[in-house]
Each structure stands twice: as structure tokens, then as C-alpha cells.
Chains A and B, each alone.
Chain A
Amino acid sequence: MTRRAEVERLAVPELGADIRAYVARMRAGQSAVSGRLADAEAACRRATDEARRDLSVAMEQLAACRQQENADTTWAVATVDRAKARLAAMYGVATDVASLRSQYEPAARRFESATEVLAQQVQRELGRAEQTLDAYLGRSHGGGPSGGGPHTAGTPPVNDRVSQPAGFPDGVFMVPLSLVDDADTRVQGPGEFSEYYTPAALEWAHEAFISVIAPGIAAGATIDTFRDLDQAENRMGTRSYAMTYQGFLGTDAIVLSPAGAGLEVNNGYHRIWVARRMGLTSVPARVVGHGAS
């Protein structure tokens, strides 16, 4: 794999997450514009209805006044004239607001089309990146019963979209993030991370797992292999392969357990948060408590 291809493979998921966030925020903004425009139209309707009622009352008062012999209708006529003028003004505003909507809508549709193209394109690119990754790792994700590898105890945790690639320890699987329910997470942003396990350090770890650890163990590498590799590349701490191996496949693995139709998080909220931000679609995790069901 060329260096450019590696960079693109890593950049596309991150860009995908960024663009999804951009599209979502733009749509929220567009929705807010439509909402305010609808508010303005509703205000016009209310004002027009009120002006119409005022005119009706004024005309009734004028009619009553005219039925009285020798009555002075000057005030009543002036009231009707004012009510007519106000109603005409309200109609004018309502017409202008309707015109503004007709000018706005084509521009909004055009921009919606642009964001829709983005959303579709990103979806395709992410799918392509995942296929490339699968091909690179020599396995397939989530393609029905034949998609997953062997599962421990012959019981797939939750469903067949969970796979166990070659070399993974017993009980550790590649789990689609779509199955993971981390709604109870306290991790809402980079501020929730320690100085040691920063988002950047965990991103490095996810990338190292995908590009080095997973293909390595599929080929028979052990933790000693990664220790040697760290020594050769002078790596240590959070940006070392051995620590990444332990962090994802060893005692510090992400731990999930079945809950309803998905999986709840027992350990690994920070790594899951980072994985979602990177646009990854699955994470390695130890799944506990799935054999009983």
C-alpha cells in the first residue's frame, strides 16, 4: 500500500465524520431558517385576521351609526378608512413575505442538493474505505451468516454482524459501533480525557490497531513481535504497538455486554468516543455474558 493510499484511508473516515457533522449542522440551520420564515408567515396571518376583524367591527359600527337619524358618521367613517388602510398594509406585508419565501426556496433547494451530494458521497467513500480495509485484512465485515469468523462457544454475541478475525483472542470481536449503546457516556468532548490518554493518542492507537496490530496478529504476530517492533522504532507509552495490543486485545480491552438488541459499555467509553469521531464503523472489544442466551 503506498503512503498516499495509507494517508487517504485514514483521512477519509475522519473527513466523513467532519462532513456528516457539517451536513447535520447545516440542515439544523436550514430548518431554523424555515421555522423563522413560517413564524413570520403566521404573524402575518394573525395580523391580517385581526385587521379584518377590526374592519368588520368598524363597518358594523358605521352601519349602526347610519341607521340613526341625523347621526354624525364622521368618526365611524374615519375608523373604517383606518381599518381598511391597516388591512391593506397587512396584505402588503403578507404578500412581501410570500415573495421572500418564493425567492428563498430555490436557493435552499439548491444548497440542500449540494449537502445531499456530500452526504451520499461520504457514505460511498466510507463504504469503499471499509471494503479496502477488509480486503487488506483478508476478511469481511457484516455480510450475513458467512460474514463473520468463528465465534467462541459457537454462539455469536448479539448477531452475525459481530465478527472474530483471525488471531483475535477468545472473547474479543470486531463489533460494529452501530450496535454499541454508549448513550450513558460521560465523555462529551476532549475535555473529558486525561493528559496521558488524549484523543490524539487514542486516534493513533486506533490507526495502529487497524494498520499494524490486526494484520499482524492475522499473520501470527504476538505481543513479543510488537515489543520488538517498538524497540526497533523506538516507540514507548501510548504510542507503542505493545501497549496498543494490550489496550485493545488484552486486559485493558473495551468491554461490552449484551443489552436489549445491542451492547452496553462496561469499559472503553473514551476509545469508543474517539472511534466515532474518527468515523470508524467498528472497534475491537471483549464481549462478556453472551453465551448464556
Chain B
Amino acid sequence: MALLDTALAELERARSLRAAAEARAGAVWNDVVFHDLEKRQLDPLEIEESRYLSTVRELGASLDRCMARLRNS
């Protein structure tokens, strides 16, 4: 099992929760969620979330390689 599997599973569950909430809320989602993100010079939540998850996946793969080097040295 990779080092960040459990954390990634938790983050992916959160992503699914967000997608379902967005679908349920419809137009209200944009009114509530997007406005302040723009003011803080952040991208829409979906993009921030995707960027973060991508970073975590890369981190997980790199950490697994580091731990393998640790074990094999």
C-alpha cells in the first residue's frame, strides 16, 4: 500500500461530496462559492481542488520512491 493511499481516498471522497453538493445546489453554488474565491485571487474551487489533489498524488509517488530507497540502501 502506498504511503498516501488512505489520505488520497479521503480527499477523493471529499471531491465526490463536493461534486454532489454542486449538482444539488445548482445556480446557488456559484452565488455562494465563487464570489469570495475570486476576491482572494483564487481559482474556482474545482480547479484549486484538482491542483491540490494532483500535487498530493505527485507527492505520494515521490515519497514512495524515497521510502523504497531508504529500505534498499
Q: Mark B1-16, 1 if CB is under 8 A from A, else 0.
A: 0011011101101100
* Complex: A68 Cα to B66 Cα, angstroms: 41
Instruction: Please name all residues of chain B whose beta carbon is closer than 8 Å to the beta carbon of A104 when the two chains form the complex.
Output: 55-56, 59
Contact (A89, B21) CB under 8 Å given A8-B31, A15-B32:
no
Q: How far in angstroms is the closest Cβ of chain B from A27?
A: 9
Chain A 262-287 near chain B by CB (<8 Å), digits 1 or 0: 00000000000000000000000000
Quick check: A114 and B24 within 8 Å, CB to CB?
no
Complex formed: what's the CA distance from A52 to B55 in Å? 33
> Given A110-B42, A121-B33, A18 and B25 touching (CB < 8 A)?
yes
What residue in chain B is nearest A107 (Cβ atoms)? Answer: B55
**Closest CB of chain A to B24's CB: distance in Å?**
7
Once the chains are docked, how many angstroms separate the CA of A18 from the CA of B24? 10
Report A1-44 CB contacts with B as 1/0, cut-off 8 Å. 00000011001101100110110011011101101110110011
- Evaluate contact between B21 and A110: CB separation under 8 angstroms: no
- Report the bound CA distance from A40 to B60 in whole Å: 11
A104 to chain B, nearest CB (A): 5
Assess A114 versus B37: contact at CB under 8 Å? Given A40-B67, A47-B70.
yes
Is there contact, CB below 8 Å, between A121 and B36? Answer: yes
- Given the known inter-chain contacts A40-B66, A117-B36, A120-B36, please indicate yes or no for A22 contacting B56, CB distance below 8 A: no
In Å, the complex CA distance between A19 and B59 comes to 26
Q: How far is the CA of A287 from the CA of B35 in the complex (A)?
A: 41
Q: Which of A15, A19, A93, A108 contacts B66 (CB 8 A)?
A: A93
Q: B73 to A40, Cβ gap below 8 A?
A: no
Q: Could you tell me if B21 and A97 are in contact, using CB atoms closer than 8 angstroms?
A: no
CB distance from A35 to the nearest CB of B (A): 8
> Is the CB of A125 closer than 8 A to any CB of chain B?
yes
Contacts of B24 in A (CB 8 A): 11, 14-15, 18
Contacts of B20 in A (CB 8 A): 18
Q: Who on chain B is nearest to A16 by CB?
A: B32
- Contact yes or no, A12 B32, CB < 8 A: yes
In the bound complex, residues from chain A placing their C-beta under 8 Å from that of B49 are: 26, 111, 114
Interface string of A80-117 (1 = CB under 8 A from B): 00000010011011001100100110011011011001
Q: Which residues of B contact A (CB under 8 A)?
A: 3-4, 6-8, 10-11, 13-14, 17-18, 20-21, 24-26, 28-29, 31-33, 35-37, 40, 42, 45, 48-49, 51-52, 55-56, 59, 62-63, 66-67, 69-70, 73
- Listed A/B pairs (22) with beta-carbon separation below 8 Å: A11-B26, A14-B25, A18-B18, A18-B25, A22-B18, A25-B13, A30-B7, A33-B7, A89-B73, A90-B73, A96-B62, A97-B63, A100-B59, A100-B62, A104-B59, A107-B55, A110-B51, A110-B52, A114-B40, A114-B45, A121-B32, A121-B33
Nearest 7 interchain pairs by C-beta: A18-B21, A32-B7, A29-B11, A25-B14, A111-B52, A29-B10, A107-B55
